[in-house]
Amino acid sequence: MLRLYIRLYIILALGLAGAIWLVNYTYDELLPEANETFNREAMRGPAYGLVEQLRPLPASAREARVRELQPYYGLRLDLVQRDELGLSQRERQLLADGQLVVRGDFMEFIATIDGGPQLLNIKLPEEPKWLYLWAYGLLGLSLAVVLYFWVRPHWRDLEHIRLAAQRFGNNDLSSRILLPRRSTVRALAGHFNQMAERIESLIANQRDLTNAVSHELRTPIARLSFELDQLKQQSDPRQRGELIADMYADLGELEEMVSELLTYASLERGATQVTRERIEAHSWLDSVIGSVALEAEAAGIQLSLRTCEVDFIEIEPRFMARAVINLLRNAIRYAERRVEVSLVKFGSGYEVRVCDDGPGVPEEGRSRIFQPFMRLDASRDRRTGGFGLGLALVQRVSQWHGGQVQVLDSEWGGASFRMTWAYAD
């Protein structure tokens, strides 16, 4: 705090001194006539009174009168001859007009008495230098006191931010800053808290992804290892072919998992730029449904488009198609007989609804199924397959489009996934 305080004090002191000098310079050098007129008018009354007392007297008697008057005036009074002063033409004209001549940084005034060679010289008393030192010292002390009470709360709040940043750097990711509302750096603390929350979320998500990927990869890798051992021992061509087909299936599972991971990771860290395009809604939705039609047919599920209420939509086609396909595959996996898709207007945006007649999603698990690698232990469990990334990817795509995704009950008792997104800006 001391270093900050001293630096600010020096800067403000120099700035104040420069401002005082600039005001004085402007007043004295750039506005001399106005300053001279002001001082002449201020001295005009006392000078008039003195001249009126000296004018009736002869020149030889005026010196004695000035000595008599001197104790009663806080001024230095002298009688001088006109030729001794070296008057300029302008000063001569001022005296001829009956006005005071102002000299010596407005500290000396010359007045004519009767128009003759004898003039009255009036000098203001000089201010003691200690008075200036005392005044500027008091000004500097006042500045120091005011600056201290201004710096102290700022330093205290900045120290809170420094300590929080230090704790955060020491792996205390829960470190946050709480400042009073009147703090001038409260906005900075708010941005720090947002950054800290985002970093903590990313690190936690990265840790969860790493743990989940390690767990998910273990199963297909173990199957591949087992199948390779069986392949070495198997001499029957038919059984060898079945083992090879199973190995290709496991490789396909690994490839699909890696693809899901890469897509999710790119959306999670913001590395992918989502650029919206204006496309025809019905044809786009038909192509998305067509991409999973064979899967639905193989599972004995009736997949249909219930309604499409909009003509055009503005989306990033590839990611949005991936999200809707994930919703459809999820519905096909759990449906009994049918799955329906709808695209409707919803508030200030659009909504895709994917409904099935499966077992539905328990209310206590509806907020968790959109987390990466999250599976429920009830009806929608591991036996249905998948990696637990599909719905997480749906949520990220929806968020990137300014929307959200939620799951409700469908009219048939199954699940109704509803993904919304806002109009493009």
State the catalytic residue, choosing from 154, 160, 191, 215: 215
Structure tokens at 198: 């985002």
Distance CA 267, CA 274 (A): 9
Contact 360, 410 (CB under 8 A): yes
Judge whether 160 counts as a catalytic residue. no
Distance CA 39, CA 102 (A): 8
- Other residues' Cβ atoms within 10 Å of the Cβ of residue 172: 13
β-strands 277-280, 312-315 pairing: antiparallel
Secondary structure (H, E, C), the chain: CHHHHHHHHHHHHHHHHHHHHHHHHHHHHHCHHHHHHHHHHHHHHHHHHHHHHHCCCCHHHHHHHHHHHHHHCCCEEEEEEHHHCCCCHHHHHHHHCCCCEEECCCCEEEEECCCCCEEEEEECCCCCHHHHHHHHHHHHHHHHHHHHHHHHHHHHHHHHHHHHHHHHHCCCCCCCCCCCCCCCCHHHHHHHHHHHHHHHHHHHHHHHHHHHHHHHHHHHHHHHHHHHHHHHHCCCHHHHHHHHHHHHHHHHHHHHHHHHHHHHHHHHCCCCCCCCEEEEHHHHHHHHHHHCHHHHHHCCCEEEEEEECCCEEEECHHHHHHHHHHHHHHHHHHCCCEEEEEEEEECCEEEEEEEECCCCCCHHHCCCCCCCCCCCCCCCCHHHCCCCCHHHHHHHHHHHCCCEEEEEECCCCCEEEEEEEECCC
From the list 72, 17, 26, 29, the residue with the least C-alpha distance to 49 is 72
Phi, psi for residue 356 in degrees, rounded to 5:
-135, 170
Bridge partners of residue 109, in order along the sequence: 102, 122
Residues annotated as catalytic (active site), given as ranges: 215
